[in-house]
Structure 1
């Protein structure tokens, strides 16, 4: 091709040498095949593309009311490659080759027929990413500098007289299943002034501004894109607009095929009546995804993980991967996709059993009841777990019957627990059930200690301590949303009841926590939204807004290991912490 270009260059060109081609590819094809979207290839990834490109009437003039094509048809092979040595840098190269070009014989006008083939203008580019939505920012923003070398065929309208520069700004953002991007660049090229001494006059050719808009699908194996591209010359020459539409299909993680068809409007050289592009790309062609997006590999015949494809159902149990707590085992919807298993046969399902290999009781979440001093009172209720004592003294020997830390011989109320500043007499007890208001779940109705101070016929769903309001059940939300599931209203109603019955209760922080699956920033945002939703519910139940503070901790404060489904289940929680006002 190079030898052919040199030979053809010896013939007089029909016009001064200039590059007719106005279309180039997006070498990395991140988001769009033609337009830069601000998104770069992941670090270490590469992509090679080969594209067949046909143009109809890219260069015409009007004579006696008839359109005469100087270049009637043009078939080009575009070779493009991109490589990202770093996450913020992408290098690209493009090599277009004119394979076949036809035109009208204008020898009568003193104009030679254009060369039928030859090398076109090769370009190299460097793209720098400034902002990345993948990293948690609002979108993608990148800058690029491209340089075209004057190495093409002059008789084939495939060469400028000097270097061509193309500074470029690209910005884009994903919105759910589609991406929007704007690509603008300035084409700085040698300027050819018009002349009128020939019968066929030519307009000026030179610098121009190009603006493109891309709308493309994401997260699908077959993705469509719509591109609008406008060219606005900075010399005396008509403007032009082109519209492109086409699909791209992932054959496997290393091969992608695509097609584009475009219509052109405008008389500027290089704007055809229509174009058709067919091509294939090789390398690492699976695009990166956001944490809430599906991967393009979500097909049974392609390798993928359950986390990458939340809408699929890997184990065919009717529960999508995004909601399935047991991705590799078929289960039931009411168990979030997990099967019923009870390894220790204690009647407590393994996923709810804190000790799945030991026979236990429900009160201890499936674990055996610990009783170090063998006094018949489990350690969790035994104030003196290493010394045996009766139930009346909560497991301690009868030397401090009310277990308030004050010896009976100096305790003014030896049968009623109280602080030292009250000489052992109890704190305020409105319902006179011998349980101080600060730890009495039902402060206005008497009840036994083992029922948290509530009447024996009533089952409290929360218990009040000096540090927190503890729940007997979890607060459930619609998966992926902050909306509270109706089954959790009763336990939240109890939280509101306790706060309303304890007007002297200090500030309560509603803390929301998640497991470590997904993006950390998204988890923090979701936990904050859920904490706000719980706070809003309690306010609707009558709690004063100034007594509540919502705080989302995301995945930063796990109680259990996130390596197991049980650990992740326990880490997803709502807590009500009692704190002193600042």
Structure 2
């Protein structure tokens, strides 16, 4: 029986069946770590019943770390509803007395953030919504809190050691997860914990990925039986997990097995869980999981079901800002010859479609964008070797040279930008439009680091749109201060933007900085909101047809 615990009175000296020996007398556990707990008003001991650990970042798996981490600046917020059946059942000499916790409903709040592409920080906060069980007070057992209660929060940090994206054989990461002594002990939801974990993952095929994790769970020692001859207990254990997950942009699935091996005579626990996840829009994802439990360790349910939703920003696994390795990104076209990596015999060399992405040794024709070939009497287009291949890094069917958001997938009728949110940077007919502000230090021409990602997107558009012959970088200020000073300040700020874009690969001759000071307000300077709107940088583009 999952979650099974023999209930043994301190007066009973005979040992129950060794099949259940690892989990003696939860009555003693519920009385406290000593036999005197009953005299303390039947207070419940402080330990965390929940065994399941979710992957707050959601990278690779919803249930466990896979060695992959969130990229720099990426984040994920999640809410998961969780139901488990019979996570804590009491036994006496192999006879079932009842379920101390027959069911438990919990909400898990999670968040994760990536730093510098090599670190990841996360936090999770479980909230017990409700739990019910049988009345076992006649056996000396207390009744856990049944209403709303705070669970044991967890904080975690991970560091990347190896990465397939960097041509390493596997993804490898090390993490440490800790739980402070917070939560509600009367709800069986409070425990001090520390768990160092090693996570390793690797692509198994073009559509599947496998991962394995191993960690130590350090938790306070809790004696389950006061009998002098039997010293079974809850305590440190080795935790192991494995997962196989599908990859791609649409519906994905995964199957995982988690288990624990006790250092002492705590019970064992094994759970199998399967789930699916589906993006609802570029930022929101829904997911569901369910599984069965086997074992007699407290917190091992007969079954559990989870439903959740997450919101976040993550760099594409492949493409601009992400990976483009043929092993890791089979759906990408890394060399831009029209043949996906998974099917390209020469994935690092532009070639011919009908030659498997390679250039035939006897090919002596001119370099061309495309040509035609005969197939069963029909003329079909065949991509040839090209010095400037048509690249679609975000895979939304709109090539980068025509894509206002080349790093984010979106419909063609929205210029390649996501339809659910207005793009922060988008290419319009005569300008690059910003929906955010470029921030400078007060009264200076120093760009604040928080504006670097915004300018990176501007640079990306300019680099991928050679038809833009030049761009005028216009600096504007509010009406505060002398007009001549504001004009000089705006000029210095536009020049600072030019220098930043130059460092991102935009040719110097394509950029013209020009400061207008307070001469061209877009709103009244009489209000603070108007003054904020007037402090701005605009990018006016000049195309081939208006170069004159």
TM-score of the pair, normalised by structure 1:
0.50
Provide the aligned C-alpha RMSD in A. 3.8
C-alpha separation in 1, matches of 2:158 and 2:307: 25
Q: Does the 8 Å contact 1:30/1:287 carry over to 2?
A: no
Structure 1 consecutive aligned stretches of length 4 or more whose deviation exceeds 4 Å: 10-15, 292-296, 307-311, 474-482, 488-492, 512-519, 561-564
**Superposed displacement of residue 284, structure 1:** 1.0
The match for 1:32 among 54, 57, 61 is 61
**Superposed displacement of residue 55, structure 1:** 0.5
C-alpha separation in 2, matches of 1:287 and 1:226: 23
Q: Does the 8 Å contact 2:337/2:389 carry over to 1?
A: no
Is residue 170 from structure 1 mapped to residue 199 from structure 2 by the alignment?
A: yes
Is residue 122 from structure 1 mapped to residue 137 from structure 2 by the alignment?
A: no
Q: Does the 8 Å contact 1:14/1:111 carry over to 2?
A: no
C-alpha separation in 1, matches of 2:337 and 2:43: 63
What are the equivalent positions in structure 2 for 1:244-283 lying under 5 Å apart?
244-283=273-312
The match for 1:222 among 251, 254, 274 is 251
Cα displacement string for residues 335-367 of structure 1 (whole angstroms, at most 9, x for unaligned residues):
xxxxxxxxxxxxxxxxxxxxxxxxxxxxxxxxx
Match of 1:112 in 2: 142
C-alpha separation in 1, matches of 2:218 and 2:390: 48
The match for 1:134 among 165, 176, 180 is 165
Match of 1:425 in 2: none
Q: Does the 8 Å contact 1:58/1:270 carry over to 2?
A: yes
Q: Does the 8 Å contact 1:219/1:293 carry over to 2?
A: no
Match of 2:99 in 1: 69
Match of 1:291 in 2: 324
What are the equivalent positions in structure 2 for 1:175-190 lying under 5 Å apart?
175-190=205-220
The match for 2:177 among 143, 146, 156 is 146
The match for 1:236 among 262, 265, 273 is 265
The match for 1:55 among 52, 72, 84 is 84
Match of 1:191 in 2: 221
**Superposed displacement of residue 194, structure 1:** 2.5
Q: How many corresponding residue pairs?
A: 323
What are the equivalent positions in structure 2 for 1:511-522 lying under 5 Å apart?
none
**Superposed displacement of residue 137, structure 1:** 2.2
Match of 2:47 in 1: 18
TM-score of the pair, normalised by structure 2:
0.53
Gaps of 5+ in 1: 1-9, 297-306, 312-320, 326-473, 493-511, 520-560, 565-582
Cα displacement string for residues 207-258 of structure 1 (whole angstroms, at most 9, x for unaligned residues):
1111110111111311001111111111202211101111000011110000
**Superposed displacement of residue 517, structure 1:** 8.5
C-alpha separation in 2, matches of 1:252 and 1:164: 36
**Superposed displacement of residue 193, structure 1:** 1.7
C-alpha separation in 2, matches of 1:322 and 1:94: 45
With over 3 angstroms needed to count, the CA separation of the structure-2 counterparts of 1:58 and 1:26, relative to structure 1, is same
Q: Does the 8 Å contact 1:212/1:227 carry over to 2?
A: yes
Is residue 97 from structure 1 mapped to residue 130 from structure 2 by the alignment?
A: no
Match of 2:115 in 1: 85
Structure number with larger C-alpha Rg: 1
**Superposed displacement of residue 17, structure 1:** 1.7
C-alpha separation in 2, matches of 1:218 and 1:293: 15
Cα displacement string for residues 368-391 of structure 1 (whole angstroms, at most 9, x for unaligned residues):
xxxxxxxxxxxxxxxxxxxxxxxx
With over 3 angstroms needed to count, the CA separation of the structure-2 counterparts of 1:24 and 1:514, relative to structure 1, is farther
C-alpha separation in 2, matches of 1:170 and 1:515: 40
**Superposed displacement of residue 16, structure 1:** 2.6
**Superposed displacement of residue 96, structure 1:** 0.5
**Superposed displacement of residue 323, structure 1:** 2.0
With over 3 angstroms needed to count, the CA separation of the structure-2 counterparts of 1:60 and 1:51, relative to structure 1, is same
**Superposed displacement of residue 93, structure 1:** 0.4
Match of 2:338 in 1: 323
Match of 1:436 in 2: none
Which shows bigger deviation, 281-290 or 132-141? 281-290
**Superposed displacement of residue 291, structure 1:** 2.0
C-alpha separation in 2, matches of 1:295 and 1:250: 21
Is residue 42 from structure 1 mapped to residue 34 from structure 2 by the alignment?
A: no
Match of 1:539 in 2: none
Q: Does the 8 Å contact 2:111/2:122 carry over to 1?
A: yes
C-alpha separation in 2, matches of 1:518 and 1:167: 42
Secondary structure of the corresponding residue to residue 108 of structure 1: helix
Gaps of 5+ in 2: 1-38, 341-349, 366-384, 393-462, 467-548
